[in-house]
Structure 1
Amino acid sequence: MKVVVAFVFLLGACLAQMPHPCKSPPLLAGSMILFTQDEKLGLKSNYMYDAYRQWQRFTQAGVADNETFNYDIFLLYKEHVAYVVDNDNQTCTGYPLYGDYQPIVIPGDAYLLAQSFIGSSSEPREGVLVNTWSGNLPNQEGLYISTVTQFGCVPVNSMYHTRKYGWMILQYIDNVKGLPDPDQLIPPPFCLDPAKVGFSAQKPVDFLDLFQQMM
């Protein structure tokens, strides 16, 4: 009987470790490195992610051509609106936002490519157990390959194909669950006046278009 109980316990522990499609935490913040196959786009940005409201914010600051820049991109998918804020000049430009909201999730039809350690499995705290998944993009534009942690489904990196840029790679670093201040996802008040942001004069964009404009 003890042998049977031990076997059942061991089987249950093994099944608990088996990778399954999952959803990442609905509230995340951290940094993101993005670059494209055609080398037209490459940057590091801080991000905030709210899956409940379908809002995202990306912040990029630095120096280019001996000039500093400090931009924020606000993506409000339910409202189909995007805002680019120049924090130095306190200006805001609004754009119609096209494309469906894509949560950070491993779909149920994803195919498990591998389970592996980032770092080392030799000693505790020397590595992180991750799962790498693949599947078809919702619009059948190509494949995606995404890696998330086994515990918590925290995003590590994603690679997927777009007609405009070819393969695009996203790497997530310094992730933190939750948002210290959810109000930071709300665009500043001067973005809410259509006459000032020129919203109606802009062409529809997706978030990659906006990133390219910031470079």
Structure 2
Amino acid sequence: MRVLVAIAVVCVSTLAQEPKPCESPKQFQGRIARFDPKDKVAVFVRLSYDADNRRVRELEEIDTTSTKDYYDVLYLHNVGLEYRLNLRTKQCNKTVLTRPFVPMHLPSDAHFRGEASMGEASNPDEHVILAFFEGKFEGNFYAASVTVPNCFPVAFDFLSKQTGLIHTTYYDITGGIHDPSVFIPPSECPP
């Protein structure tokens, strides 16, 4: 009888240890693909992300059903400015940022939903472990997957009445900022 009670205690304590959200790197570079099925828009981005200084640089290719546009967008939340350079026309708009900086990491109240591995599990160089989380951000549903143990973002789904479903996939991610000058506004933009 004591053995059964001990096994039950171990099982309950193990199940109660739900993994907590990990902390993603505060600076990284890579690529993202963002899909908005409601507006039929695909955006492919070369990304530089700096959470410490609240800065994001995106080189965007926006593909709608009828056109493609190319932009160099610099979000400087640390000073409240956005620079948007149309790479085709060389027209640059400098505007005041009105939206808040949204960190690219799991919120601390994200709920763990499970783990899985991709690739050849017997070869550590050819597989990755993913952790899945979900929750609510400002009343809107999100689901996210990150690598284990480094917590690099892999995918993020966001659903709201305002935006509908937005699906973002991250790839070719490397830690750190290789060239800090990516956060200097383009020369075509007003000072």
TM-score (norm 2): 0.80
Matches within 5 A, 1:1-215: 19-61=19-61, 70-137=70-137, 139-140=138-139, 142-193=140-191
Cα deviation for residue 24 of structure 1 reads: 1.2
Residue 122 of structure 2 aligns with an amino acid whose one-letter code is S
Residue 49 of structure 2 aligns with an amino acid whose one-letter code is Y
User: 2:42·2:62 contact (CA, 8 Å) conserved in 1?
Assistant: no
Q: 1 CA distance for matches of 2:160 and 2:65?
A: 29
User: 2:33·2:42 contact (CA, 8 Å) conserved in 1?
Assistant: yes
Listed one character per residue, the Cα deviations across residues 19-39 of structure 1 (whole Å, up to 9, x for unaligned) are 431221111111100001314
Cα deviation for residue 99 of structure 1 reads: 1.9
Listed one character per residue, the Cα deviations across residues 60-90 of structure 1 (whole Å, up to 9, x for unaligned) are 3589999985420111112222111123443
Secondary structure at the residue paired with 2:124?
coil
Q: 1 CA distance for matches of 2:166 and 2:130?
A: 20
Residue 170 of structure 1 aligns with an amino acid whose one-letter code is T
**For this pair of structures, how many residues does the alignment match?**
175
User: 2:75·2:81 contact (CA, 8 Å) conserved in 1?
Assistant: yes
Shift of the 185–164 alpha-carbon distance from structure 1 to 2, 3 Å rule, reads same
More strand by share: 2
Unaligned runs of 5+ in 1: 1-13, 194-215
Listed one character per residue, the Cα deviations across residues 177-214 of structure 1 (whole Å, up to 9, x for unaligned) are 11111111111244234xxxxxxxxxxxxxxxxxxxxx
Q: 2 CA distance for matches of 1:191 and 1:117?
A: 45
Shift of the 19–118 alpha-carbon distance from structure 1 to 2, 3 Å rule, reads farther
Shift of the 101–47 alpha-carbon distance from structure 1 to 2, 3 Å rule, reads same
Shift of the 156–120 alpha-carbon distance from structure 1 to 2, 3 Å rule, reads same
User: 2:40·2:64 contact (CA, 8 Å) conserved in 1?
Assistant: no
User: 1:25·1:153 contact (CA, 8 Å) conserved in 2?
Assistant: yes
More helix by share: 1
